[in-house]
């Protein structure tokens, strides 16, 4: 397994790794970033080879399709690992390194699994460092789209998040549907059951109807829409908004709150997940207010299933995948992305809904019975069994 960041944490990869180890696979995960240390550790019986990446190399990754530094660094690092170990499969997490990893797949005659947690070229459109100088001068998004099309066609297996993502790739790239495995970001029930709540946190806001958002706080996630809705609902003194997470655009959110002189919304910043679940627990509603784009239309966020596990009805924007899910499973309501007035109305409707407890129970029930990692992981196991039999 290959990862372009430190490990842990990586919620999705952690679940995949544990599943494969538990089904008899021997895993070596190579990861590298400026935050990594040069060390080898054991994590859940997997070997994690960590390599500290020079800051210059890390910064050059933004232009990796245009300049050779980043790819040359990883090519050398991968060679050092392949010189010491023999592998049966390569599992690459995310798109950027696929060109280099494909070279090793061909040279060593072993299958390559490309695990795409997101549509990288589409989401790059919204990255701050891509939209501003010098990134907007260096990076060609058109070239990234061609890169994704070229290499999704030549990998042996492709893991995607949703059926909507699969359909999108089939239409755009004319891929073989048999090579695609859909493995969603469903929660691991055993993991969540093991987390203990912080009573001090639970006692906070006990007199409030708390509406919470957890995750990346970038504007593309609809966080500004939350603050605008909070402004519209300021006269309701018992409704309070919590935004948990961080991004480079937090300064914009802070300025909005200050300019609107709001006291009913609080930015809590980044909090470790085992602490953040206590805030989710005390909340009444979980928000998934993402702005619409191709990436958001074809993915699920972890947070939606985390909210639901704790019995929180969802209010989601009308991004295709989550809209279909929320409406089909009757676990919340949907509003037009970016429409703060409609979001505010949905919150009031949910607060006054006599069937709130029914929605809450249904949200938790569908996670326990269906949408969990214990079920989703069967697709991963079947895919690797198929590879082993070839």
Q: Is the pTM of this model over 0.85?
A: yes
Q: Is the model's pLDDT at 136 over the cut of 90?
A: no
| Cross-strand pairs, 241 | 211, 265
Q: Is the model's pLDDT at 295 over the cut of 80?
A: yes
Nearest to 264, CA basis, from 303, 228, 317: 228
Q: How far is CA 26 from CA 19, 43, 86, 89, in A?
A: 11, 12, 11, 11
Whole-angstrom distance, CA of residue 253 vs CA of residue 298 = 26
| pLDDT tier for residue 206 given thresholds of 50, 70 and 90 | confident
pLDDT in tens, 141-155: 899 999 999 999 999
Q: Using an 8 Å Cβ cutoff, are 9 and 35 in contact?
A: no
Which class is 189-369 in CATH? alpha beta
Q: Say what the pLDDT of residue 159 is.
A: 98
Give the start-to-end residue ranges of the domains of the chain.
2-186+373-389, 189-369
Whole-angstrom distance, CA of residue 190 vs CA of residue 380 = 18
Q: Say what the pLDDT of residue 24 is.
A: 95
Q: What is the DSSP letter of 390?
A: -
Mean pLDDT, rounded, for 196-210:
91
What would be the CATH architecture of the domain defined by 2-186+373-389?
A: 3-Layer(aba) Sandwich (3.40)
Asked if the domains 2-186+373-389 and 189-369 are classified in one and the same CATH topology, the answer is yes
Q: Is the model's pLDDT at 132 over the cut of 80?
A: no
Residue 250, phi then psi, degrees to nearest 5: -60, -30
Neighbours of 51 (CB within 10 A): 19
Whole-angstrom distance, CA of residue 308 vs CA of residue 324 = 15
């Amino acid at each position: 397994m290959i990862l372009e960041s430190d490990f842990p944490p990586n919620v999705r990869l952690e679940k995949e790794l544990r599943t494969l180890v538990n089904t008899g696979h021997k895993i070596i995960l190579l990861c590298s970033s400026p935050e990594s240390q040069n060390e080898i550790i054991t994590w859940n019986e997997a070997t994690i080879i960590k390599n500290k990446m020079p800051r210059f190399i890390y910064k050059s990754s933004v232009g990796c399709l245009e300049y050779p530094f980043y790819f040359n660094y990883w090519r050398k690092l991968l060679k050092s690992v392949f010189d010491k170990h023999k592998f049966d499969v390569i599992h690459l997490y995310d798109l950027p390194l696929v060109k280099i990893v494909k070279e090793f797949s061909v040279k060593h005659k072993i299958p390559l699994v490309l695990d795409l947690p997101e549509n990288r070229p589409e989401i790059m459109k919204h990255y701050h460092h891509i939209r501003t100088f010098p990134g907007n001068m260096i990076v060609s998004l058109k070239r990234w789209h061609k890169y994704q099309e070229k290499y999704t066609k030549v990998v042996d297996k492709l893991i995607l998040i949703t059926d909507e993502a699969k359909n999108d790739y089939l239409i755009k790239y004319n891929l073989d549907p048999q090579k695609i495995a859909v493995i969603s970001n469903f929660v691991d029930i055993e993991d969540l059951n093991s987390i203990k709540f912080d009573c001090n946190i639970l006692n906070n806001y006990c007199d409030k109807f708390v509406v919470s958002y957890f995750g990346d706080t970038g504007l593309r996630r609809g966080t500004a829409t939350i603050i605008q809705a909070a402004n519209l609902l300021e006269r309701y003194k018992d409704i309070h908004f919590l935004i948990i997470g961080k991004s480079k655009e937090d300064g914009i959110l802070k300025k909005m709150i200050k300019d609107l002189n709001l006291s009913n919304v609080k930015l809590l910043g980044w909090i470790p997940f085992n602490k953040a679940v206590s805030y989710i627990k005390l909340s009444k509603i979980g928000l998934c207010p993402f702005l619409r784009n191709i990436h958001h239309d074809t993915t699920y966020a972890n947070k939606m299933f985390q909210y639901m596990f704790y019995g929180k009805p969802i209010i989601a924007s009308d991004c295709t995948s989550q809209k279909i899910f929320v409406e089909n499973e009757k676990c919340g309501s949907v509003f037009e992305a970016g429409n703060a007035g409609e979001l505010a109305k949905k919150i009031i409707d949910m607060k006054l809904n006599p069937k709130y407890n029914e929605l809450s129970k249904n949200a938790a029930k569908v996670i326990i019975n269906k949408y969990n990692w214990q079920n989703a992981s069967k697709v991963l196991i079947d895919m690797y069994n198929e590879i082993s039999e070839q």
